[in-house]
């Protein structure tokens, strides 16, 4: 059973909205584009590993927590790609979607990647990441007065990651090896260490302390393209409002959902609070009266009266 589904992070959504609206000639465009590319790759890798679980037979009960995000008592964060809880053990996965020749120097605790072009780059040691998450999980179990084996593994989602012999013996492998690693764990732990009720209670406790991590990001909001954008046009053609619909003058598309996508872009890039003035500016509406009528139709909570009225997006 999946208790916590994998979803796009808020940073992922923000970067997508920014790339939609930032001119490609902007000095920071490629910087944001590269950030989004890396996040896309990581998310795709996680989905690839998620799909592998569909072919692995697991005992009942079992629980999945994907992208579990925790702020620990030291004030630092744990962002765990996947946690599998079953009566025999708990497994933590650190998922990577990188290419190149990967090497590990244990004497220096150094993890490196050699690219196809021959460049050698240092990278965060995913084994240390997984081990750190495992140690935190063991503390959580101790606090709950529970005992169950905890394991971690690093899974590479692409066959284009070449693992060197220096990684032999480490819990690190390609996604195709996941089923065999899990099978070995069940062979190693044949007895149940936790009953169904306690397992569910502990999984629910982990879920209760999940808090999506918010990362501050400087954004050139003043430089983004304003307006309700046509999804059918590739370069962000602005639509116009002709009662009672949004219309693209270039391709003729009529899109009733475009205003809701623009509302989400506003939330991501500007904030949750709208005024009649900010609505006119961001949605490129000339008439405050038209803006007022549109705002009243949208599923927004209104606060204040007359000129001080604000409309809140979401909770």
Q: pLDDT tens digit string along 21-55?
A: 999 999 999 999 999 999 999 999 999 999 999 99
pTM of the predicted model, to two decimals?
0.86
User: Of the given ranges (186-200, 226-240, 261-275, 281-295), which has the lowest mean pLDDT?
Assistant: 226-240
Q: Which helix (H) or strand (E) holds 18?
A: helix 10-21
The percent of the chain in helix, strand and coil, each rounded to the nearest 5, is 40, 25, 40
Report CA torsion sign: 198, 199, 205, 208: negative
Euclidean distance between CA atoms 219 and 199, whole angstroms: 43
Residues 6+ apart with CB under 8 A from 80: 65, 67, 68, 69, 70, 92, 93, 94, 133
Euclidean distance between CA atoms 140 and 158, whole angstroms: 32
225-312, what's its fold?
A: Arc Repressor Mutant, subunit A (1.10.10)
Domain locations in the chain as residue ranges: 2-208, 225-312
Euclidean distance between CA atoms 270 and 221, whole angstroms: 7
pLDDT tens, residue by residue, 77-128? 999 999 999 999 999 999 999 999 999 998 888 899 998 888 999 988 999 9
List Cα–Cα distances, 213 to 9, 61, 78, in angstroms.
9, 29, 9
Using an 8 Å Cβ cutoff, are 87 and 64 in contact?
no
The pLDDT of residue 277: 93
pLDDT at 242 over 90: no
């Amino acid at each position: 059973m999946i208790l916590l589904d994998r979803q796009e992070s808020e940073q992922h959504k923000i970067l997508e909205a920014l790339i939609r609206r930032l001119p490609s000639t902007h000095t920071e465009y490629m910087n944001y584009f590269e950030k989004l590319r890396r996040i896309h790759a990581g998310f795709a890798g996680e989905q690839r590993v998620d799909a592998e679980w569909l072919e692995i037979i697991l005992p009942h009960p079992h629980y999945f927590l994907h992208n579990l995000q925790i702020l620990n008592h030291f004030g630092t964060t744990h962002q765990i790609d996947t946690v599998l809880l079953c009566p025999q053990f708990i497994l933590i996965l650190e998922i990577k979607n990188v290419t190149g020749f990967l090497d590990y120097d244990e004497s220096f605790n150094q993890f490196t990647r050699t690219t196809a072009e021959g460049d050698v780059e240092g990278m965060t040691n995913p084994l240390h990441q997984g081990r750190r998450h495992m140690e935190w999980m063991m503390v959580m179990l101790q606090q709950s007065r529970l005992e169950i084996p905890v394991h971690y593994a690093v899974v590479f989602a692409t066959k284009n990651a070449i693992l060197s012999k220096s990684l032999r013996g480490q819990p690190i492998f390609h996604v195709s090896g996941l089923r065999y690693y899990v099978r070995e764990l069940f062979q190693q732990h044949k007895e149940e260490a936790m009953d169904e009720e306690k397992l569910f209670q502990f999984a629910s406790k982990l879920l209760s302390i999940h808090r999506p991590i918010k990362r501050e990001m400087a954004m050139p909001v003043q430089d983004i393209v304003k307006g309700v954008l046509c999804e059918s046009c590739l370069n962000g053609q602005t639509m116009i409002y002709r009662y009672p619909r949004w219309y693209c003058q270039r391709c003729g598309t009529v899109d009733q959902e475009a205003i809701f996508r623009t509302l989400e872009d506003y939330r991501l890039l500007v904030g949750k609070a709208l005024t009649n003035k900010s609505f006119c500016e961001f949605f490129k509406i000339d008439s405050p009266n038209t803006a007022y009528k549109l705002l009243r139709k949208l599923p927004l909570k209104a606060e204040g009266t007359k000129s001080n009225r604000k409309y809140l997006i979401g909770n």
